[in-house]
Amino acid sequence: MKRVLVVEDNRDLAYGLRNNLEIEGYAVDVASHGAVGLDRAINTRPDLVVLDLMLPGMDGFRILRAIREADLTMPVLVLTARGEESDKVRCLKLGADDYLTKPFGVLELLARVEALLRRANGKTIVTAARERFGDIELDRASHAVTLDGAPVELAPKEYDLLVALADRRGAVVTRLELMRQVWGYSDAVITRTIDTHIGELRRKLERDPAHPRHILTVRKVGYRLEPR
């Protein structure tokens, strides 16, 4: 049984989330205080965390940073009333896997939870191949990426996105295909999330992110990885 930690201080919402997740067969733990939520995430290591941003004691941004600094790789779904683009970008940079704004539909939430867990399970299948793209090297066996031999730290979804592009060996991958492969989303929930992650990959791996050499945009279609 998959275990979900809900960190949410609104009692009614937390109760509703718990009921709906348990109906779907998940074991659910609820924390209403930021510090308590972080402690449970670190010590109980749930399969997924549903995280509010505005919490007493410690906000969701600090919790998210602490989770990733502790080398915990479970998916984190941020669930918040804060819908500003700057908040979304900040969460993605801190290592969030998804971002859902309140109010939300229960069916969409459940679909996103299922997709994140399905994707997390798929990460256990790796290959020992090393691939080079100019000065970039991808080592799938160790989930490591280097630039000019120096390690580059990628967020989990950034790494998955790079692998998805590498799998196509230079062919164009549409945004829809990337959203399905990396996030497991259906057509109805495509967002600008992918473009934000592409921007972060370019910032970390391209010498001139404004004029990328490897991670290329194919206008009105998607992206491709140029191997030269």
Domain residue spans in the chain? 3-122, 130-225
Per-residue pLDDT of the chain (228 residues; tens, 9 = 90+): 789 999 999 999 999 999 999 999 999 999 999 999 999 999 899 999 999 999 999 999 999 999 999 888 899 999 988 878 888 889 988 999 999 988 888 888 999 899 899 887 765 434 445 788 888 999 877 788 999 889 999 998 899 899 889 887 788 888 877 887 787 665 444 567 888 999 999 999 999 999 999 999 998 888 999 877
Structure tokens at 72: 């915990």
158/201 Cα distance (integer angstroms): 6
Whole-model pTM? Answer: 0.57
CATH of domain 130-225: 1.10.10.10
**Looking at domain 3-122, what is its CATH homologous superfamily?**
Response regulator (3.40.50.2300)
